[in-house]
A and B are shown apart, each in its own frame.
Chain A
Amino acid sequence: MLIDTILFYIFAVLVLGGGILTITRRSAIHSAISLIVSLLGVAGLYLLQQAEFLFAVQIVLYVGGIMVLFLFVIMLVNLDQAAHERQFSRGWTVALAATAAVGAEIGYFLYRGKDAFQIASNGGQQAVQALGNTEMIADSLFSEYLLPFEIASVLLLVAVVGSVMMAKKRV
């Protein structure tokens, strides 16, 4: 119990810290590494909530896949000059204010509704599931969500074709 709580806070710090570092670093490489930290934190949160499959997916896909993609692009695109320029856009104060206002509103809602979640709070006292997490996801994904699953595969295909078209030398 205590361990869970401590772990949650550790991961939360990783997530938020990584995120804040991501958006504040001057060098894109540093940002990317901070993003990895943040994503790893999210993966830890998944594990904390018994979503083992998503944990694996998060590590493999995000940290392994997308991040490599980012790093490749960072290397392909010459970012040295960008690093020496102004990092934030002109209206950043306004943007920050607006975001803060949205945050305040969200916080207000969460505060108002915090009691609703107390009931369903879970301290890890979950009943042992008959099936493992991965089997359950597979079950759901390939029966109830088969069509969306296929559509998602088409979406990925389109994305592959689109990105190749975008990135290749002559269009």
Chain B
Amino acid sequence: MHPITTIHYLVLSAALLLVGTVGILTRRNIVIILMSIELILNAVNINLVAFSHTLHNINGQVFAIFVICDAVAEAAVGLGILIALFRNRETVQADEIDLLKW
């Protein structure tokens, strides 16, 4: 069995990214789309931490913290928007909402 190298992590990260992308593009439920975004952000973090580990550089982990920060903010605002949306339109289906025009 091969020892685990950085490339393993990168492959894993890429796979997780693709799973998240598929989730965003195909699911209709906005809650799950938001979850998919979390998956993508985690894929990024895996990448960052893997390189940090490889290069013995702590900056990667610091960046991961910032990304987590971002994820938190995004989740809070996104879910807030979701609640407002649900209150006004009584739906959580992404393709029933086409406000992003003009």
Q: Are A51 and B75 in contact (CB under 8 A)?
A: no
- Bound complex: CA of A164 vs CA of B16, how far in Å? 31
- Bound complex: CA of A128 vs CA of B23, how far in Å? 41
Shortest Cβ distance from A7 into B: residue: B4
- Bound complex: CA of A31 vs CA of B6, how far in Å? 29
The interface on chain A, measured as residues whose beta carbon lies within 8 A of the other chain's beta carbons, has a size of: 89
Query: Contacts A87-B28, A89-B28, A136-B58 known; A54 to B5 CB distance under 8 Å?
Result: no
B interface, CB within 8 angstroms of A = 1-12, 14-23, 25-29, 31-32, 34-36, 38-39, 42, 45-46, 49-50, 52-56, 58-59, 61-62, 64-66, 68-77, 79-84, 86, 91-95
| Chain B interface, >50% SS class | helix
CB neighbours (8 Å) of A117 from chain B are 5-7, 10, 54
Q: Are B7 and A110 in contact (CB under 8 A)?
A: yes
Shortest Cβ distance from A163 into B: residue: B80
CB distance from B42 to the nearest CB of A (A): 5
CB neighbours (8 Å) of A23 from chain B are 19-20, 22-23, 26-27, 32, 35-36, 39
- Bound complex: CA of A79 vs CA of B22, how far in Å? 21
A interface, CB within 8 angstroms of B = 1-2, 4-5, 8, 12, 15-16, 19-20, 22-23, 28, 31-32, 35, 38-39, 42, 45-46, 48-51, 53-54, 57-58, 61-62, 65-66, 69-70, 73-74, 76-79, 82, 85-90, 92, 95-96, 98-100, 102-103, 106-107, 110, 114, 117-118, 120-123, 126, 133, 136-137, 139-141, 144-145, 148, 152, 155-156, 158-160, 162-167, 171
